Amino acid sequence: MLSEKVLAALNAQINMELNAFYTYLSASAFLESANFPGFAAWMHHHAEEEMEHAMKIYHFVHERLGRVSLQAIPAPTQSWDTIKAVFEAAMHHEQKVTASINALVDLARSEKDHATEVFLHWFVKEQVEEEMIVDQVIQKLNLIGDFRPGLFMLDHELGEEAEGES
């Protein structure tokens, strides 16, 4: 059974994961409207992953006889000045999620909730991967700069990557 503190924190994490879903989906919509279908597909794929993360926690709460309490999700950003700014916003969001997961692990430890701590280890590993993946795109965008053919090629590359992961 989950303590009240851990249950509240898990519910807050569900909300954060749903917020991440909304953030990536909004980025996908923006990039699609800017005629970058590959970047849009990449963001859409990551939106779906965030929804999966929320649902993992959702099911875990129920398995531990807790009750999920969904909260309002703030409206995401709708537009950005550059493609790089879209990915920098994604990185900022991933870093917030990482900090939240780490705090949840610390809370589970302090509450001596071993099952929750073990469950969260998957998320710790996932966040390392998520930050690395977003950083790789940002580093490529730094190399490309404003070189339009480079943006076109990276858009194509990320579209292919998103198709391969679906």
166 has pLDDT over 80: no
Specify the range with the lowest mean pLDDT, choosing from 44-48, 69-73, 145-149.
Answer: 145-149
Residue 85 near residue 134 (C-beta atoms within 8 A): no
Residue 22 near residue 72 (C-beta atoms within 8 A): no
User: What per-residue confidence (pLDDT) applies to 82?
Assistant: 96
% of the chain at pLDDT higher than 70:
99
Residue ranges making up the domain that contains 129: 4-165
**In CATH, what number is assigned to the domain containing residue 146?**
1.20.1260.10
Helices and strands per DSSP (H, E), number in the chain? 5, 0
157 has pLDDT over 80: yes
Report how far apart, in Å, the C-alpha atoms of 19 and of each of 36, 41, 101, 140 are: 23, 18, 14, 26
Report how far apart, in Å, the C-alpha atoms of 166 and of each of 41, 48, 74, 85, 163 are: 10, 10, 27, 25, 5
Tokens 């692990």 sit on residue: 105
Query: What's the pTM?
Result: 0.94
Mean pLDDT of the chain: 97
Kindly state the average pLDDT of the residues 77-88. Answer: 97
- Counted domains in the chain: 1
Q: Which two tokens stand for residue 164?
A: 């391969």
| Nearest residue to 20 (alpha-carbon basis) of 50, 53, 61, 52 | 50
Q: What is the pLDDT of residues 102-144, one digit of tens each?
A: 999 999 999 999 999 999 999 999 999 999 999 999 999 999 9
Q: What is the pLDDT of residues 91-100, one digit of tens each?
A: 999 999 999 9
The pLDDT confidence band at residue 5, using thresholds 50, 70 and 90, is very high
